[in-house]
Amino acid sequence: MSELLPTGANAAVRATEVAIDLEAVPADDTVAGTPRQGLAELGTIGDCEAGIWELREGVTTDTEVDELFVVLSGGATIELLGGPGIEAGTVFEVTAGDVMRLVAGTRTKWTVPDHIRKVYLSEQ
């Protein structure tokens, strides 16, 4: 997969329109429905990876990396399930325009009725 915004290039992409190939979420991470996900690599900024990620229709779990993201479209309910120093039970509702930070090692449950598309920066 090639980077859409390679290092050293002045460039722009319309992040809401970038084509993203979606694949089934692994069965071990699927809680309900038939969720599909995919990403488009934007490039790197310093020690961070940048990309566009989309998840469609379902409920999934994940163990997060240190990440900051901005929701471009759609939305999700994100429940914290625990992790090192993380108390379970906190729930976030995110929609277009919201910015969120996730801490590495946090276990999450994502409930996505339609879709969520986000631009993210994460540790490599």
Task: Map out the domains of the chain as residue ranges.
Answer: 23-123
From the list 61, 33, 29, 43, the residue with the least C-alpha distance to 1 is: 43
What DSSP character marks residue 65?
P
The CATH number of 23-123, from 2.60.120.10, 3.30.1330.100, 3.90.1150.180, 2.60.40.1220, is 2.60.120.10
From the list 27, 33, 23, 25, the residue with the least C-alpha distance to 1 is: 23
Name the phi and psi angles at 11, rounded to 5: -155, 165
Residue 1 has pLDDT above 70, yes or no: no
Q: Which amino acid is at 24?
A: A
H helix or E strand, kind and range, residue 41: strand 30-45
Residue 91 has pLDDT above 70, yes or no: yes
Question: Can you give the pTM of this predicted structure?
Answer: 0.93
| pLDDT tens figures, 16-67 | 999 999 999 999 999 999 999 999 999 999 999 999 999 999 999 999 999 9
